[in-house]
């Protein structure tokens, strides 16, 4: 465990940081059964506190961070507001925790929320240790909190998450007590797990959070630069999940969970992202994007490709290879 912490620190050392504007884009989002526009803002802040101590094994968001002072962050919020067109959902992210006062001073948290208070819903991300800072925030908020896996062994030895399931659950309950919605991120195929174990782990995690999550958002691992996962991938020790596995997880999750399910496939179809054989990847990504908006697993019935056999063989063979 100590080695993993140290190694993670090492691979991200001395990465140049010279970015200043927030990243902004628009995308579609499903709220109350309707497809609406959402406005995504990624503020450049000093980034996730845990990433400075060690960081999660798959996370490369530290590269987007920038040691911005109070005035610079305020300027970024104003910059984002100028380009805002009244989209109903605003996603206010920071490559860390919006609620961490060291990252985003409390005054700026409130300033940002007030500025975009016309939005029907604001989604912010946080680690569980900062949830208590929700006190006094009266916007219609959805709190997105990465759990990644409900299995403590996976959290500790594979993801290096820096917390266990129980404290996460306590914070999740606190989110609900504050009257806020909860979005739970679950990772698909953490490192050191086989493809089959990855599928099982994601579904087990859904079972654990299904009664508390308003939305479950899956993140299939993508290979970010300067991460442990990248090192493993370069040495042939890790393959991002098959899109077949992603679809399998979405189908199974829909059977056991009634809330909204979504899945953001970063670098989908590329070697660094979830992929299949190359021929069918586009149709899979399209189907997953459709599913995000329609929530109907029938969309997946059309998917077929010869590589299904290869994927199924891999599920079996890999167990032996890794064993």
User: Is residue 220 close enough to count as binding ligand SF4 by CB under 6 A?
Assistant: no
Residues 95-114 that bind Zn ion (CB under 5 A): none
Query: Which of Zn ion, ligand SF4, none does residue 277 bind (CB under 5 to 8 Å by kind)?
Result: Zn ion
Residues 21-40 that bind ligand SF4 (CB under 6 A): none
| H helix intervals, the chain | 2-11, 49-53, 70-82, 106-115, 152-153, 165-177, 195-209, 228-234, 243-256, 281-294, 307-322
Distance CA 38, CA 155 (A): 31
Q: Give the residue, chosen from 39, 50, 165, 300, that forms a contact with ligand SF4 under the rule CB under 6 A.
A: 50
User: Is residue 277 close enough to count as binding Zn ion by CB under 5 A?
Assistant: yes
**Greatest CA separation for the chain:** 56
HSE, side-chain direction, 13 A CA sphere, residue 267? 14
User: Is residue 96 close enough to count as binding ligand SF4 by CB under 6 A?
Assistant: yes
Distance CA 248, CA 250 (A): 6
User: Is residue 55 close enough to count as binding ligand SF4 by CB under 6 A?
Assistant: yes
What is the closest distance, in whole angstroms, from the C-beta atom of residue 52 to Zn ion in the complex? 41
Dihedral sign, Cα of residue 302, residue 303, residue 305, residue 307? negative
Say if residue 269 is exposed, middle or buried (CB neighbours under 10 Å; 0-12, 13-18, 19+): middle
Among the candidate windows 20-28, 45-53, 81-89, 102-110, which touches ligand SF4 by CB under 6 A? 45-53
Dihedral sign, Cα of residue 241, residue 242, residue 245, residue 247? positive
Among the candidate windows 43-51, 134-142, 254-262, 278-286, which touches ligand SF4 by CB under 6 A? 43-51
Query: Which of ligand SF4, Zn ion, none does residue 276 bind (CB under 5 to 8 Å by kind)?
Result: Zn ion
Cα distances (Å, whole numbers) of residue 101 to 142, 151, 175: 18, 29, 17
User: Is residue 289 close enough to count as binding Zn ion by CB under 5 A?
Assistant: no
Q: Give the residue, chosen from 61, 116, 168, 218, that forms a contact with ligand SF4 under the rule CB under 6 A.
A: 61
Asked if residue 94 lies in contact with residue 47, where contact means CB atoms within 8 angstroms, the answer is yes
Among the candidate windows 16-24, 46-54, 68-76, 188-196, which touches ligand SF4 by CB under 6 A? 46-54
Q: Give the residue, chosen from 12, 46, 121, 127, that forms a contact with ligand SF4 under the rule CB under 6 A.
A: 127
Q: Give the residue, chosen from 188, 250, 305, 315, that forms a contact with Zn ion under the rule CB under 5 A.
A: 305
Pairing of strands 260-263, 141-148: unpaired
User: Is residue 168 close enough to count as binding ligand SF4 by CB under 6 A?
Assistant: no
Rg (CA), the chain: 19
The footprint of Zn ion on this chain (CB under 5 A) covers a number of residues equal to 6
Query: Which of ligand SF4, Zn ion, none does residue 184 bind (CB under 5 to 8 Å by kind)?
Result: none
Q: Which is nearer to ligand SF4, 98 or 314 (CB)?
A: 98
Residues that bind Zn ion (CB under 5 A): 276-277, 279-280, 305, 307
Residues that bind ligand SF4 (CB under 6 A): 48, 50-51, 55-56, 59, 61, 96, 127, 146
């Amino acid at each position: 465990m100590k080695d993993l912490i140290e190694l993670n620190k090492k691979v991200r050392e001395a990465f140049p940081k010279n970015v200043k504007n927030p990243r902004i884009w628009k995308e579609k989002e499903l709220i109350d059964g309707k497809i609406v526009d959402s406005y995504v803002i990624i503020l450049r802040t000093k980034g996730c506190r845990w990433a400075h101590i060690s960081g999660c094994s798959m996370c490369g968001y530290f590269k987007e961070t920038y040691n911005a002072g109070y005035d610079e962050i305020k300027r970024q919020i104003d910059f984002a507001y100028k380009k805002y067109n009244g989209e109903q959902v605003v996603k206010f992210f920071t490559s860390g925790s919006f609620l961490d006062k060291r990252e985003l001073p409390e005054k700026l948290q409130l300033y940002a929320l007030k500025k975009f208070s016309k939005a029907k819903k604001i989604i912010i991300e946080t680690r569980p240790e900062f949830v208590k800072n929700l006190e006094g925030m009266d916007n219609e908020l959805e709190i997105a909190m990465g759990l990644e896996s409900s299995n403590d062994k996976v959290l500790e030895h594979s993801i290096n998450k820096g917390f266990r399931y129980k404290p996460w659950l306590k914070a999740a309950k606190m989110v609900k007590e504050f009257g806020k919605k909860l979005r739970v991120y679950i990772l698909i195929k953490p490192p050191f797990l086989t493809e089959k174990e990855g599928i099982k782990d994601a579904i087990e995690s859904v079972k654990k959070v299904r009664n508390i999550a308003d939305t479950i958002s899956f993140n299939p691992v993508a290979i970010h630069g300067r991460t442990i996962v990248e090192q493993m991938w370069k040495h042939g020790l890790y393959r991002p999940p098959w899109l077949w596995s992603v679809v399998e997880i979405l189908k199974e999750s829909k059977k056991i969970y009634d809330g909204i399910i979504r899945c953001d496939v970063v670098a989908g179809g590329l070697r660094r992202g979830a992929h299949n054989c190359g021929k069918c990847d586009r149709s899979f990504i399209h189907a997953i994007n459709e599913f995000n908006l329609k929530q109907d697993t029938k969309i997946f019935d059309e998917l077929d490709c010869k590589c299904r056999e290869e994927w199924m063989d891999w599920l079996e063979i890999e167990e032996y290879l890794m064993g």
